[in-house]
Amino acid sequence: MKIFIDTANLAQIKEAASYGLLDGVTTNPSLVAKEGKNFKQLLQEIVEIVDGPISAEVVATDYNGIIKEANELAKIHENIVVKVPLIKDGIKAVKKLTEEDIKTNVTLCFSASQAILAAKAGATYISPFVGRLDDISFNGMDLIKQIVEIYKNYNYKTQILVASIRHPLHVVEAALMGAHVCTMPFDVIEKLFNHPLTSIGLEKFLKDWEKSNQ
Ligand code: G3P
């Protein structure tokens, strides 16, 4: 399973990339706005840090506007994946962008029916938001299970990119289900490393070693 970081923060991207396990980056308009930097310049910097898919979202909501923005974003670097919202004009645009070999990530997916449309349009990735579904008392991981099954049934090529991840259990469950990618905030990447028995065990090994006077 690929691990992407869900942020536009350069320090976090650099730190996560330094572990050697980072496969890509996803951003969204809220994450970019938080950084207070020029969007395209920020993307230029991100592509230099991570050699993998970098999702950059359009803000247009009409077909022509989405296509125009998508072409501008795709021109920045070959690793840019254009993130498009799961609305009618978005899906129409994804179909067209796929024909033009522009990679897409269909975002704001909250149902299996939406995921079917994205796959039929030829999206490179579908981003179901699990945490936001959990927030409204629907088990977000149930949606991932459904999409995995549906995509397998029809051999759809669209990769399932589990988004809106809030904790390591989301990551483990996604891996058990066979999702292709998990994108997560920096703090969740950090948490993947941790186990109290590892810390306790290491402390004991080092203390015992010290006692041996070697
Ligand atoms: O980037 C899309 C998604 O991962 C957003 O997550 O935490 O804002 O629901 P969140």
What is the pTM assigned to this prediction? 0.96
**Ligand 1 proximity of 132 Cβ (cutoff 6 Å):** yes
| 28: confidence class by pLDDT, cuts 50, 70, 90 | very high
What's residue 160's pLDDT? 99
Candidates 1.10.10.10, 3.30.465.10, 3.40.50.10490, 3.20.20.70; CATH matching 2-211? 3.20.20.70
Q: Are 125 and 118 in contact (CB under 8 A)?
A: no
The confidence band for 151, taking pLDDT boundaries of 50, 70 and 90, is: very high
Q: What is the percentage of the chain residues whose pLDDT exceeds 90?
A: 100
Q: Is 129 in the pocket of ligand 1 (CB under 6 A)?
A: yes
* Mean pLDDT rounded to a whole number for the chain: 98
Distance CA 171, CA 165 (A): 7
The residue whose C-alpha atom lies closest to atom 9 belonging to ligand 1 is 164
The angle at the Cα of 127, spanning 78 to 193, to the nearest 5 degrees, equals 90
Distance CA(165)–CA(182), nearest Å, equals 8
Q: What is the pLDDT of residue 149?
A: 98
Q: What is the pLDDT of residue 155?
A: 98
- Residues with catalytic function: 83
Could you give the CA distance from residue 97 to residue 41 in angstroms, rounded to a whole number? 23
- Spatial separation of the C-alpha atoms in residues 128 and 165, rounded to whole Å: 10
Is there a contact between 84 and 107 (Cβ–Cβ < 8 Å)? yes
Average pLDDT over residues 163-190: 98
Atom 3 of ligand 1, nearest CA residue: 164
